[in-house]
């Protein structure tokens, strides 16, 4: 018997007898019905079909639930819940105390793209210290920052002092403590991106501290860290004397 080119349906030969016509029509009709159903397996509103591994046979994919998106799983289409946005998670549970040392380091950060460091209530036993953040305990001038240091009087004044900060440094400064009283504190944050790549890492920060009885100072900076090494640790340090109070929190996001 002859067959069709695409689906191989059986059809009568040109020399077939007329008496075989009814049987041939039934055979052809059954083949058409089977093939059509194989190509249209949907049964429910919203179903879709995709090409299966078997020739001329499609697979039914039932409608997903509200809010799901079409994705690929094991090489075939599948409905899935949309990926959630990146969540911040606290790496050092409860925070790390800034006490009894001039430098406090939080390690185990490798593999993270974004890192946020929050310094809360940092103070030192020695007044006048600068509170700063370093990456990978790197003390070289690989921190390039651009922005402003703003000095604001604690009482009303008609002017404030704004100092432009630019160029390379050995750390990322958050604030300078009062020069004659160690009870004042420094607070601030540093947000870094690209921490898990071998190129530069971008950061921005804001920090504040009381520098004198009449002036509060703050840094608002952005910049980059020029290192081919991924970030594996964060250090908060005092330029003079050990910390006697404060906490550092390190949040990470993959």
pLDDT digits 0-9 by tens, 78-125: 999 887 666 789 999 999 999 999 999 999 998 899 999 999 999 998
Q: Is 16 helix (H, G, I), strand (E, B) or coil?
A: coil
What does the pLDDT read at residue 177? 87
Is the predicted pLDDT of residue 243 greater than 90, yes or no? Answer: yes
d(CA 153, CA 81): 52
pLDDT value of residue 128: 87
> What's this model's pTM, rounded to 2 decimal places?
0.66
Most confident of the ranges 4-13, 202-211, 229-238: 229-238
The CATH number of 89-253, from 2.60.120, 1.10.3470, 2.40.50, 1.10.260, is 2.60.120
Asked whether the predicted pLDDT for residue 182 surpasses 80, the reply is no
Asked whether the beta carbons of 94 and 248 are under 8 A apart, the reply is: no
On whether the CB atoms of residues 25 and 10 are closer than 8 A, the answer is no
Q: What is the mean pLDDT of the chain?
A: 87
Q: What average pLDDT does range 163-177 have in this prediction?
A: 92
* Burial of 57 per CB tally in 10 Å (0-12, 13-18, 19+): middle
How many other CB atoms are found less than 10 A from the CB of residue 146?
Answer: 13
Domain boundaries, the chain: 2-80, 89-253
How far is C-alpha 154 from the chain's CA centre?
A: 38
């Amino acid at each position: 018997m002859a067959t069709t080119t695409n689906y191989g349906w059986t059809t009568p030969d040109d020399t077939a007898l007329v008496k075989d016509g009814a049987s041939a029509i039934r055979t052809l009709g059954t083949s058409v019905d089977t093939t059509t159903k194989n190509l249209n397996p949907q049964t429910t509103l919203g179903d879709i079909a995709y090409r299966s591994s078997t020739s001329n046979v499609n697979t039914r994919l039932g409608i997903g639930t509200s809010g799901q998106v079409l994705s690929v799983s094991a090489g075939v289409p599948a409905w899935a819940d949309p990926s959630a946005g990146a969540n911040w998670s606290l790496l050092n549970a409860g925070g790390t105390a800034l006490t009894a040392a001039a430098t406090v380091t939080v390690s185990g950060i490798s593999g993270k793209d974004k890192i946020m460091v929050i310094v809360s209530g940092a103070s030192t036993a020695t007044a006048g210290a600068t509170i700063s953040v370093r990456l990978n305990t790197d003390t070289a001038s690989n921190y390039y920052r651009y922005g402003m240091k703003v000095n604001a009087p604690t009482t009303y004044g008609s002017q404030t002092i704004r100092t432009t900060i630019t160029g390379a440094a050995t750390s990322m400064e958050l604030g300078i403590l009062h020069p004659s009283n160690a009870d004042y504190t420094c607070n601030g944050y540093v947000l870094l991106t690209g921490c898990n790549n071998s190129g530069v890492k971008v950061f921005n920060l804001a920090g504040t501290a009381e520098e004198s009885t009449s002036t509060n100072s703050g840094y608002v900076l952005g910049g980059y860290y020029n290192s081919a090494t991924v970030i594996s640790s964060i250090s908060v340090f005092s330029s003079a004397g050990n910390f006697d109070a404060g906490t550092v929190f390190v949040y990470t996001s993959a």
